[in-house]
Structure 1
Amino acid sequence: MNQVVLIGRLTKDPVVRYTTGQEPVAVARFSIVVERPIRTGSEKQTDFPNIVVFGRQAENCEQFLKKGRLVGISGRIQTGRYAKKEGDMVYITEVYANKVEFLDWENQQSEDNASSVEAVQERSF
């Protein structure tokens, strides 16, 4: 079984690129910060997993997610490798998301609405 569920905050805005071919597919990449459970008397520790999202969901991530937003990720872990120019092998581990949930969606909407109202009020004077 290869399944992972994470909750964390984006460390930066998602970056979306499109595949080449007859039907380009959106691919979003971003990382989140996830806190590890704290043992009594120990320091807080965090992990920064890289997330990959495909298709319409990737486009939604680009449109609605920003650095600091809280998200829930459900997906699978996938490893890969590539060679650097010097010939050294680099090993990567990523979470390929099946589902991305925007957990502070309500806060985002109210913040966006508040800033829109403020902008309208400023323009009307």
Structure 2
Amino acid sequence: MLNRIILMGRLTRDPELRHTQSGTAVASFSLAVDRDFKNRDSGEKATDFIDVVAWRNTAEFVSKYFTKGRMAVVEGRLQIRDWTDRDGGKRRSAEVVADNVYFGDSKRDGESGGSFSRPAAPAPVDYGIPAGADQFAELADDDGDLPF
């Protein structure tokens, strides 16, 4: 069986960092994820608001580097929770338990830390044609045997 989700969207609020009684970090936040199609009537894209929970180091990372409006890529699994409300009614909710959270946009101006900047690519090497060489010279065709 496979339970794997990858989402890309913007945080609808700052992550809320809490700690369990045993000291384990847990962060909760919500992502606004646009659908691929537009509404026929309004012409606007529909948006899903998805609850996400992150634990331990991922929770610490999210609460330190992500804020409302920031684009995030979340990898995780779908978790369904059954619970009883204050009136005794049975309720069900779905949330994504994040295994990894990545930056979905480039580093914002004035921000520091938390993102990785890829080093500049080395300058291309010119393997040009030697002076005086014919660019479209015929290759010698030996006896046709393969060299191995």
Task: Establish whether TM, by shorter chain, passes 0.5.
Answer: yes
Larger Rg: 2
The aligned length equals 109
Q: Name 1:118's counterpart in structure 2.
A: none
Q: Name 1:103's counterpart in structure 2.
A: 104
TM-score (norm 1): 0.80
Unaligned runs of 5+ in 1: 114-125
Distance 1:61 1:101 in 2: 9
Q: In structure 1, what residue type is equivalent to 2:30?
A: S
| More off after superposition, 55-64 vs 72-81 | 55-64
Unaligned runs of 5+ in 2: 113-148
Identity among equivalent positions (%) equals 35
1:27 and 2:45 aligned? no
**Which deviations, in whole Å up to 9, do the C-alpha atoms of 1:22-46 show, x marking residues without a partner?**
xx11000000000011158553101
Q: Name 1:120's counterpart in structure 2.
A: none
1:47 and 2:17 aligned? no
In the TM superposition, residue 76 of structure 1 has moved relative to its aligned partner by: 0.4
Q: Considering fraction of residues, name the structure with more helix.
A: 1
Structure ranking higher on relative contact order (CA contacts 8 Å, 6+ apart): 1
Distance 2:70 2:107 in 1: 11
**Which deviations, in whole Å up to 9, do the C-alpha atoms of 1:22-72 show, x marking residues without a partner?**
xx1100000000001115855310101100101111011111110000000
Q: In structure 1, what residue type is equivalent to 2:105?
A: D
Q: Contact 2:33/2:47 (CA < 8 Å) preserved in 1?
A: yes
CA RMSD between the two structures = 1.6
